Structures are given as C-alpha cells and as structure tokens.
C-alpha cells in the first residue's frame, strides 16, 4: 500500500520528522567520487543553479538536471549524477545556514528525478549482466543497482535528515519520496550484485535503509537478508590479512565502508544485536588494515584502478573514533598522542603487498611494492613500486583516468586503455606490450635496519594480438632511513626491446643526466636520484605530456590528466636493470656513487658509505 494513500500520511510525516535526526549518522556520506570533485568552491551555490561539476567539466543544466547526461560518451558521468551526491552538499549548507533555497533545490531535484526517471522494464538478469550493450543501457538508465543503493542508503537519507524540517517539505511531498524509496529498496533486494565491491555496497545500503525506515513492511526481511549475505561475504571478499580481494588501494576502503556504515547505523539505532559475536573484532581488523598501506600524507598507493589524490585521513579518524585505536591515533597526531605501531614496515602476506617505511612521521621514507593476486579493477601494475620521502611523493603509478566501461568506439578510449596498461606503471614491460592480467607472487623479510622483498610475474605480456612469454623478477632492498636498491631480471625466449619505467609525481621537476645514468629531481626542498648501473646499451628518455606516443601523464583524480615526468630506460632482453633510488633532503649538490663488485653493491654519498650484499 502506498504511503500517500494512507489516511494518516500527516502522522507518518510528523513521526519521521521526530525520528530521522536520531536515526541517521551525520557521517554516513563521506565521498563524492569517483567523478565529482570535492575541492571545488561554492558547490552548493552551483547546484542551486543546476550547475554540476564532474571531472574537468562544469555543466549548466539550466532549468533542471539531465540525469542521463554522458559528456564525451563517458557513462561514469551518468552513474555519478544518478547517485545524487549533490544532495549532501545542499543538506550540509541548509543545516549550517537554514537558507530555504538549498532545501528547495534538493527537494525539487528529488521529486524531479522521481517524476522523470521511471524504473526500466527489464528482467533481473539484465541488471546482473556486466558486459555488452544491455549493461551500458543499465548504466544510462539511472537504475543500476549501485546507484540505487547510493540514493536510498546514503544521499537521500542525509537530505531527508535536514530537508524534512524545511517549511517547503509537505506530507504529500514526503509521501512521494517515501514511495520511491520503497520501490527502489524492493528493486535493490531483487537485483543486487552477488560479488565484488558492488555487492558489499548495495546490500549494506539496503541494510541501512531497512534500519532507518524499519516501519516499512518488508524492512525486517531486507535486513535479515543483507546481514546474512554480508556476513557470508567476509571470507569471499576479504583476505585473512584484512585487505580486500580487489587488491586496489582506492577500492579497499570502498569495501570496508559498507560494513562500517552499517555497523555505525546499527549502533546509533540500538540494533547491534543483528551481528554475530565475532563481527566487531573482524571489522576492527579490516579497518586497521587501512593504516599500514597509507603513505605518510595519508594518500593511498595507486594499485589497480586508484588515484594518487585519494586520501584516507577522514576515514582513519572515523575508525579511531569507533574503536579507540591508539596506533591510528599516533599516526593521525604525528606521534603526539597514542601508541607508536610496533612495525613501521609491513607485509600483507595473503595479499602480497609490501610496505617499506622508515618510521611513522610525515617525513618518513616510504615504498609500496605490489606483488600479489590480480584482484578486481585490474590494470597491468604487477611488481610496480611507489616512493615517497621527506613529505613529498616522488614515484607514483599513472592513476585511473577514465573507466573503459563505456562504448568501446569512443575516441578517448585509447588514452583510457593506456592508463590501464603497464606503460603507466613503475614496472618493466616489453616495448609496446602490457602485462597479461594475472597473478604475481612474492614475499618480504623485515628487520630492524633493512627490508627485502622479492616478487615474480610469469603470466606474459600482450600487445592485443600477440603474447610473449617474458618473465619478470623484481627484488627491492630498503636500507632504512637511507635508500632503496631495485633489481629487475627479465628472462624469456628470444630478444625483445624491454623498458624500465619510472613515473614521477606531477609536482616534481626532473632533469635527465644520461652521462651519469640517472634522472634527478630539481626541487627546492627535497629530491630523489634514480640511478642505474650502466651496461653500454642503455637508452635513456624523458617524457612529459607527450600525446604521440602517450607518455608522461598522471591522474590525481578521475578524468583529470596532468603532465608529469616519465623516465624510460630501454635495453634488449633478456637483461637486468639495477637501480638505486636515493632520496636527498635539500638540493642535490652531488650525485651518489653506485657501483657493484660481484654480488656487493657499493653506495657512497658525501661522507657516508654503504655495502649491500644481495645474493
């Protein structure tokens, strides 16, 4: 029975006016991604004028938003529009100012969407289709299950928490919105995905909706179903070390947040008994795993489809508040409070992710080494590394530019594919080839003065038409507080040009010194030297913002492509690359010496000397 047909619609409206403020956590909405940008000024003012900023563009929709809009054919715009994250900005602005124009805009946008975007008449199976034209139609429809979940489990909830107190919200309008929430929840219950981050988010969104609107007739069954699904999904979607099986720095928290938001909602609604006895300790474990992989500036390593501009400080603060974790408090406070973690470096044994860190300060030396299973949202980043030092990010993978889940004939698809390939990552690849999507393997030894990690990738490389069996082994040695040595061994049948790639973060100015077999950053504060042991046939090239070939680009956030230096070192394989990665506090006034005698590396810099034996 529709709510607006009930004689007591006024009573229902007044009931939720009293209840929603206590039922909906204020921090239930935390992200505006991947397309919508959080750093723009006056977003709420733009939304009042129906101006939406996505990626590098701002679109003026005029009288009302076009919820199916897909500029340049990128359907990720459509998906983001249909999540209605703009309602969060409008709700917060209304909360802070009590200016009715923000409530008026938000209520109008919700009602406009309801009237103009009906549920499509397609069978459930079509909504689970991940490939082909039917899936593209679902992305265009506004009714993909992930977007449905965002609306009823996050953005509309936050909007109603505040807009329900506006003089412009009437019982009739509220009834129309509640009818739509009911319809969308029933749809999500029947069509949600059953694996991957979509399945976790969709079912957790439905569980949150069921707790907030527990008076809806099916709410009890929805909540029981979702809790049962999510509890059984824990072992399927997370590894014992706490990392998600998608193996993505950017998507790891996306997986966790579904559980975390559901947990927080249950807590404030007095419904924590819906979880099994081990749930809190398990959730604390997977939340704690967020700590160890983060860079000193709280940003995530760019593994699989991630962006360097993604930071997790806010998420760490939420975790600390929920569980009182003293090690997280230490990292957040830069050592002023809490307890220092027992380990600075860390290895996720089930995931194959090695993090080499000198300490937990903002100035720490940091390297992330990816050598695990392929995961989800896959790109050709196996055996890639990223490096930060002295408060600056130096070496980073290229990042996610645009998703390739739109129509394949778009003119920008070739560039998007580049960012999914090994060519955009700090790894080794045959020239013109990318890794076949597959697993790597590796291990790590941590000690007080040094760390050593070694990984291998044996799945081969492809150029789209041909596959070559090239095997890559990478060893990374970390002399804590001083430098790294990276040794790459390339094996395989026949001779083929091979490229060692080093991508610098955009904020670095880089100079190539081929006569010294190195590239050096020329920053005013802190710097990095990337130096190779020289065979006679090395070729050094430095690119920045090149379109032909596509080289020297970085994506700090979705659809934001910026020039960044890329060092390409080429030789003919089978071969070996031996690289010194040497951070310098201040300007580089003198290059380090990097030599090898049999199995012993010899490094000299100013008055310091090191000898490293890597058998």
CB 556 within 8 A of CB 308: yes
Question: Smallest Cα–Cα separation from 461: which of 488, 505, 423?
Answer: 423
Q: Distance (Å, rounded) from C-alpha 469 to C-alpha 436? A: 10
- pLDDT on residue 2: 59
- Total residue length of the chain: 615
* Residue 32 in this model has a pLDDT that exceeds 60: no
The model's confidence at residue 138, banded by pLDDT at 50, 70 and 90, is confident
- pLDDT on residue 29: 82
User: Stretch 505-520: mean pLDDT, rounded?
Assistant: 97
* Residue 444 in this model has a pLDDT that exceeds 90: yes
Residue 528 to residues 122, 385, 481, 586: CA-CA distances in angstroms?
Answer: 55, 15, 14, 10
User: Stretch 362-378: mean pLDDT, rounded?
Assistant: 94
- pLDDT on residue 547: 94
* Residue 7 in this model has a pLDDT that exceeds 60: no
Residue 597 tokens read as 């005698």
User: Stretch 442-446: mean pLDDT, rounded?
Assistant: 98
- pLDDT on residue 615: 75
User: Stretch 358-384: mean pLDDT, rounded?
Assistant: 95
* Residue 124 in this model has a pLDDT that exceeds 90: no
Task: Give the H or E element holding residue 347.
Answer: strand 346-348
- pLDDT on residue 1: 43
Sign (positive/negative) of CA torsion 461, 520, 524, 449?
positive
Percent of the chain with pLDDT over 70: 95
- pLDDT on residue 408: 84
* Residue 326 in this model has a pLDDT that exceeds 70: yes
Q: pLDDT of 477-487, one tens digit each?
A: 999 999 999 99
Question: Smallest Cα–Cα separation from 393: which of 414, 422, 363?
Answer: 363
Q: pLDDT of 240-251, one tens digit each?
A: 999 999 999 999
- pLDDT on residue 534: 84
Q: Distance (Å, rounded) from C-alpha 130 to C-alpha 136? A: 9
Lowest-confidence pick of 55-69, 89-103, 146-160, 273-287: 55-69
- pLDDT on residue 120: 83
* Residue 269 in this model has a pLDDT that exceeds 60: yes
Q: Distance (Å, rounded) from C-alpha 120 to C-alpha 110? A: 18
Lowest-confidence pick of 131-145, 303-317, 430-444: 131-145
Locate tokens 């951070």: which residue? 583
- 358 compared with 195, residue with greater pLDDT: 358
Q: What's the predicted TM-score (pTM) here?
A: 0.95
- pLDDT on residue 3: 52
* Residue 392 in this model has a pLDDT that exceeds 60: yes
User: Stretch 198-205: mean pLDDT, rounded?
Assistant: 96
Residue 310 tokens read as 């993604």
Per-residue exposure over 332-353, b if at least 16 CB sit within 10 Å of its own CB, e if not: beeeeebeebeebbbbbeebbb
User: Stretch 52-68: mean pLDDT, rounded?
Assistant: 87
Lowest-confidence pick of 176-185, 225-234, 534-543: 534-543
Locate tokens 């008449």: which residue? 121
User: Stretch 331-350: mean pLDDT, rounded?
Assistant: 97
- pLDDT on residue 365: 98
CB 194 within 8 A of CB 208: no
Average pLDDT of the chain to the nearest whole number:
93
Percent of the chain with pLDDT over 90: 83
């Amino acid at each position: 029975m529709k709510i607006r047909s009930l004689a007591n619609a006024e009573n229902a409206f007044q009931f939720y006016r009293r209840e929603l403020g206590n039922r909906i956590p204020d921090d239930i909405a935390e992200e505006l991604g991947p397309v919508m940008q959080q750093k723009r000024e006056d977003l709420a003012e733009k939304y009042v004028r129906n101006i939406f900023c996505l990626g590098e563009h701002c679109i003026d929709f005029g009288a009302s938003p076009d919820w199916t809009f897909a500029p340049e054919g990128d359907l990720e715009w459509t998906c983001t529009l249909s999540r209605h994250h703009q309602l969060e900005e409008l709700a917060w602005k209304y909360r802070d100012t009590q200016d009715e124009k923000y409530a008026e805009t938000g209520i109008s946008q919700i009602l406009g969407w309801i009237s103009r975007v009906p549920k499509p008449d397609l069978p459930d199976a079509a909504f689970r289709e991940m490939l082909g034209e039917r899936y593209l139609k679902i992305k265009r429809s506004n009714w993909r299950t992930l977007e449905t979940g965002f609306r009823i489990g996050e953005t509309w909830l936050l909007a109603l928490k505040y807009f329900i107190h506006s003089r412009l919200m009437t019982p009739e309008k509220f009834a129309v919105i509640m009818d739509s929430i009911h319809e969308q929840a029933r749809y999500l219950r029947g069509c949600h995905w059953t694996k991957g981050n979509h399945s976790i988010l969709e079912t957790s969104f439905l569980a949150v909706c069921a707790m907030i609107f527990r008076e809806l007739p099916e709410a009890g069954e929805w909540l029981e179903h979702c809790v049962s699904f999510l509890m059984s999904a824990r072992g399927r979607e997370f590894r014992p070390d706490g990392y998600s099986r998608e193996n993505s720095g950017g998507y790891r928290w996306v997986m966790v947040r579904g559980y975390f938001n559901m947990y927080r909602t249950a807590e404030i609604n007095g419904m924590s008994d819906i979880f099994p006895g081990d749930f809190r300790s398990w959730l604390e474990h997977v939340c704690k795993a967020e700590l160890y992989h983060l860079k000193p500036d709280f940003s995530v390593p760019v593994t699989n489809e991630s962006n360097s501009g993604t930071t997790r400080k806010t998420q760490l603060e939420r975790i600390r508040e929920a569980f009182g974790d003293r090690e997280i408090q230490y990292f957040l406070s830069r050592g002023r409070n809490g307890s220092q973690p027992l380990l600075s470096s860390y290895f996720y044994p089930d995931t194959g992710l090695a993090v080499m860190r000198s300490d937990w300060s903002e100035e720490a030396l940091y390297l992330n080494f990816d050598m695990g299973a392929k995961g989800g949202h896959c790109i050709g980043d196996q055996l890639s590394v990223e490096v930060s030092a002295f408060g600056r990010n130096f070496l980073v993978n290229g990042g996610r530019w645009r998703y390739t889940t739109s129509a394949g004939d778009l003119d920008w698809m070739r560039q998007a594919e580049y960012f999914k390939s090994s060519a955009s990552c700090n790894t080794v690849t045959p020239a013109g080839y990318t890794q076949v999507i597959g697993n790597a393997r590796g291990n790590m030894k941590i000690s007080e003065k040094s760390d050593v990690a070694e990984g291998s990738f044996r799945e081969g490389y492809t150029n789209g038409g041909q596959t070559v069996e090239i095997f890559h082994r990478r060893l990374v040695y970390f002399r804590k507080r001083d430098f790294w040595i990276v040794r790459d061994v390339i094996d395989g049948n026949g001779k083929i040009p091979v490229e060692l790639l080093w991508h610098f973060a955009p904020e670095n100015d880089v100079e190539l010194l081929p006569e010294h077999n190195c590239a050096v950053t020329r920053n005013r504060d802190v710097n990095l030297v990337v130096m190779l042991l020289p065979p006679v046939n090395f070729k050094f090239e430095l690119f920045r913002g090149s379109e032909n070939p596509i080289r020297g680009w970085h994506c700090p956030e979705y659809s934001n492509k910026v020039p960044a230096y890329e060092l390409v070192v080429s030789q003919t394989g089978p071969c070996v690359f031996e690289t010194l990665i040497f951070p310098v506090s201040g300007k580089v006034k003198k290059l380090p010496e990097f030599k090898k005698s049999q199995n012993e590396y010899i490094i000299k810099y100013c008055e310091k000397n090191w000898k490293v034996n890597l058998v």
